[in-house]
Amino acid sequence: MFKGRHFDRSVILLCVRWYLAYGLSLRDLEEMMEERNIHVDHSTVHRWVLRFSPQLLERFNKRKRAVT
């Protein structure tokens, strides 16, 4: 899923998770990554969200237990 990406998968997952869970803006995420010495553009984070959020949702739903 993350093969051939410039950034480590932990950085990608962290950005996507924070964007979806906490409602942060893309520029806020860019600044937060800059504080951690990871230089990522806000448009890159947006592309990650568009690409990986449907795939992650599908994987999470497969592992979710049925509620009865």
| pLDDT the model gives residue 4 | 67
Domains: count for the chain: 1
The runs of H, that is alpha helices, within 1-68 are: 9-22, 26-35, 42-63
Amino acid occupying residue 43: S
Return d(Cα 35, Cα 42) in angstroms, integer.
14
Report yes or no on 3 lying in a domain.
no
DSSP state, residue 3: T
Judged by average pLDDT, the poorest of 29-33, 36-40, 50-54, 56-60 is: 56-60
Residue 24 · residue 42 · CB < 8 Å: no
Q: What is the pLDDT confidence band of residue 2, given thresholds at 50, 70 and 90?
A: low
Report yes or no on 27 lying in a domain.
yes
Q: Which residue has the higher pLDDT, 65 or 35?
A: 35
Report yes or no on 41 lying in a domain.
yes
Report yes or no on 2 lying in a domain.
no
Report yes or no on 13 lying in a domain.
yes
Report yes or no on 19 lying in a domain.
yes
Return d(Cα 39, Cα 35) in angstroms, integer.
9
| pLDDT the model gives residue 54 | 87
